Amino acid sequence: MAVDDVFEARSKMAGYDQGANETGIPGTRAGEDGKGEDPGFADYGALERRYDGPIPTDALDRLRFGSGLMAEIARTEDSIVFFRQEIVRMRTSARRWFERGNLEMARHNIADSRLYLREWRTLRRRLENLGAELRAKDRARAERAQLLNAKRVLDLIGEAAD
């Protein structure tokens, strides 16, 4: 299996640049000064050269998903899918136990289904909050870019006036 296949961002959050992060450049992160890109996270080979031993999970998340926030969104989406499948499985099992006349097992499966449903709802709310946080970061990045462009225009006007 190629390294490119392992580290490919797969999120259901449509409309977001999944490879970009704080710098807006896919596959990079902000440098120590917060302005430039850090080439140490540009690819998997650079990560292997940087760390002697196991690569930290947060570094792999940045490489794979572009940021920690996108990694959390992907994990939450995966958990939502898992709990939804378990809810359906438990309800199907409860129905079959009920048809066979074993009401005790049917009750246990219904109780498990309710537990999974509560967790599923919690994860859905968490995903909504993470999506709002991501949109806020995108807006802040866009506003910063507009301010930088306005500053460049004013600098050009100032240079032309001199």
pTM of the model: 0.60
Q: Could you give the C-alpha distances from 139 to 69, 70, 71, 81, 145, in angstroms and in order?
A: 15, 16, 19, 29, 10
In whole angstroms, how large is the CA radius of gyration of the chain?
A: 23
Task: Check residue 111 and give its pLDDT.
Answer: 96
82/71 Cα distance (integer angstroms): 17
Asked whether residue 47 is domain-assigned, the answer is: yes
Task: Check residue 119 and give its pLDDT.
Answer: 97
153/151 Cα distance (integer angstroms): 5
Task: Check residue 42 and give its pLDDT.
Answer: 60
Asked whether residue 27 is domain-assigned, the answer is: yes
56/45 Cα distance (integer angstroms): 14
Query: How many domains are contained in the chain?
Result: 1
Asked whether residue 43 is domain-assigned, the answer is: yes
Could you tell me the mean pLDDT of each successive run of 10 residues in the chain, 162 residues long? 44 43 46 46 74 83 84 94 96 95 95 96 96 92 88 82 73
Q: Where are the alpha helices (DSSP H) in the chain?
A: 3-6, 44-50, 57-65, 68-100, 103-161
Asked whether residue 107 is domain-assigned, the answer is: no
Q: Coil, strand, or helix at residue 46?
A: helix
Domain residue limits at 44: 18-66
